[in-house]
């Protein structure tokens, strides 16, 4: 591997770090929201491990070469990277739906699910913890 290959590999590895860190933050949120459900916590812990493995494929999916003037350029991305991105999107969607469902189901709205959804959107009658989850965690997905 030449210097250009090492640089692209390092950039791929450095790019994987925020993905892993962010998905861990979302795992912590899911585990906090579903503190009384061992199955859900285990399932999302497994999904986090899948996310970590998928993230660590990033450095190996990038191929480099020399561009004009001898600069390092990214010349190819492996096709399996699209599959990894689809897995990330699916995990993020499941996380969003799980947290949203738990927040909505725990709201004490009088008129059923339509009132809960309205409270979710507008933040009415939402406790401090749920408001914090909505403002920080769910905003990431929206």
What is the per-residue pLDDT across 39-96, written as a single tens digit (0 to 9) for each?
A: 999 999 999 999 999 999 999 998 888 888 888 888 888 999 999 999 999 998 898 8
Residue carrying structure tokens 């001898």: 70
Q: What is the pTM of this model?
A: 0.77
Q: What's the pLDDT score for residue 55?
A: 93
User: With 80 as the cut, is the pLDDT of residue 129 above it?
Assistant: no
pLDDT of residue 40: 94
Cα separation, 60 vs 135, in Å, equals 36
Half-sphere exposure of 91 (CA within 13 A, CB side): 26
Instruction: Provide the mean pLDDT of the chain.
Output: 83
Write down the pLDDT at residue 126: 64
Per-residue pLDDT band at 18 (split at 50, 70, 90): very high
Question: What single-letter DSSP state applies at residue 53?
Answer: H
CA dihedral angle for residue 15, residue 21, residue 25, residue 26, rounded to 10 degrees: 40
Percent of the chain at pLDDT exceeding 90 = 35
6-15 burial by CB neighbour count: b if 16+ within 10 A, else e?
eebbebbeee
Q: Where are the alpha helices (DSSP H) in 1-142?
A: 3-33, 38-56, 80-106, 113-122, 128-132, 139-141
């Amino acid at each position: 591997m030449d210097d250009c290959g090492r640089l692209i590999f390092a950039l791929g590895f450095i790019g994987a770090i925020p993905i892993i860190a962010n998905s861990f933050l979302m795992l912590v949120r899911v585990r906090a929201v579903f503190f009384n459900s061992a199955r859900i916590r285990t399932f999302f812990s497994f999904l986090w491990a899948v996310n970590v493995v998928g993230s660590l494929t990033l450095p190996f999916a990038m191929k480099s070469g020399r561009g004009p003037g001898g600069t390092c350029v990214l010349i190819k991305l492996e096709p399996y990277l699209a599959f990894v991105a689809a897995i990330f999107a699916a995990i993020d969607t499941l996380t969003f739906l799980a947290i949203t469902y738990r927040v909505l189901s725990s709201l004490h709205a009088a008129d059923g699910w339509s009132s809960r959804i309205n409270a979710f959107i507008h933040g009415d009658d939402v406790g401090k913890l749920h408001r914090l989850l909505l403002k920080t965690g769910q905003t990431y997905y929206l």
